[in-house]
Amino acid sequence: MDIKPGTLIANRYWILSHLGSGGMADVYHAQDKNLLRDTAIKLLHTELSNNTQFIERFHHEARAAANLSHPNLVTVFDFGLDSEIAYLVMEYIEGQDLKSYLRQNSPLPIPLAVHLMQQICSGAGYAHRAGLVHCDLKPQNILLTTDGRVKIADFGIARTLADINPEEHSEIIWGSPQYLAPEVAAGGAPSAASDVYSLGIMLYEMVTGSLPFIHTDAEELLEMHLTQPPPSPRQLNADIPATLEQIIFKVLAKEPSARYRTADQFGRVLEVYESKELELPQEGFSISALPNDESNEKTELFPSADIIRIDWLAITLSLLAFVAIGGLVPFWIWICLLYPTCPINAP
């Protein structure tokens, strides 16, 4: 699709420059002339724009994506059809995608990789709770802002879990082969667990500098996802802690039930790992300010100080006994005063 700078889409969006191309669309930097803000506009390829069923599904998914509001998701502003070209208008992000960053900096320091993946899990987990799966999570769809925030892009092919039709999956292969879950490679329906597998491939790539499965033939690559175990990450990078390797192996399990079911669960595991294993950069760090090697030092899994255990049941029973006895003393004095022989009445 050849759209020149200065072209006006939907009588509202001025095309400024071409940002990139994908399997189903071209993405442009544009300006919303009504709101005077920069946007990214995705123009679907002509063959897709002319497919009525696809456009209906695309609009349904765009509405669902537009309802998502999360700091780690690219916001969808608008969608529609202009001169038989379907378009999707999104938040414009200044920065670069994770794939470009990895080409220059991989493998990433372990703290940085875990920190970035936590943000990705946060955004994807929010979408999972809303009933959406991404279906095509890969570093090219992960944008890094100049202040170090992660933004997940391209929910344009996301499917609502309720709308998945099992009868059509044998004819559809979703996602990119390098990051595709085994069950999806076999023609099954994408799910939140499928997204988790894709996240595991990305984390593997971030900490080792390599993909676990590499082949020039797409069918052979899919077969590797289905049948072959991933190589040990620690053999590629000895700095990877054993605990993190075990987490990666779990999310790359062939069976979806053996993985963490949602990105939220994966993120919580990484949070626990972070608190026990690493001193990680705080929110708002700059991508350009990579942590030093010293930040990889492990902290103690358990504090050295003795833990004082308090028996709250014993304390509660003691308080009740004290109150009971303390209440009987005034009652005994009152009874005693009723009798002349009471010692208290003695002159």
Residues belonging to the active site: 136
Burial bucket for residue 211 (CB in 10 Å: 0-12, 13-18, 19+): middle
Dihedral sign of CA atoms 295, 298, 301, 306 in order: negative
Report how far residue 208's alpha carbon sits from residue 212's, in angstroms, rounded to the nearest whole number: 9
The pair of three-digit structure tokens given for residue 346, joined into one six-digit string: 């003695």
Report how far residue 255's alpha carbon sits from residue 246's, in angstroms, rounded to the nearest whole number: 16
The backbone torsions φ and ψ at residue 68, rounded to the nearest 5 degrees and listed phi first, read -85, 130
Residue in the structure block whose two tokens are 């979408």 = 127
Report how far residue 281's alpha carbon sits from residue 290's, in angstroms, rounded to the nearest whole number: 9
Dihedral sign of CA atoms 101, 231, 124, 25 in order: positive
Residue 107: is the preceding peptide bond cis (ω within 30°)?
yes
C-alpha distances in Å from residue 156, one per residue of 30, 178, 184, 209: 18, 19, 18, 28
Helix, strand or coil, per DSSP, at residue 232: coil
In contact, 189 and 218? CB cutoff 8 Å: no
Radius of gyration of the chain (CA): 29
| Greatest CA separation for the chain | 115
The backbone torsions φ and ψ at residue 342, rounded to the nearest 5 degrees and listed phi first, read -65, 130
Report how far residue 57's alpha carbon sits from residue 158's, in angstroms, rounded to the nearest whole number: 10
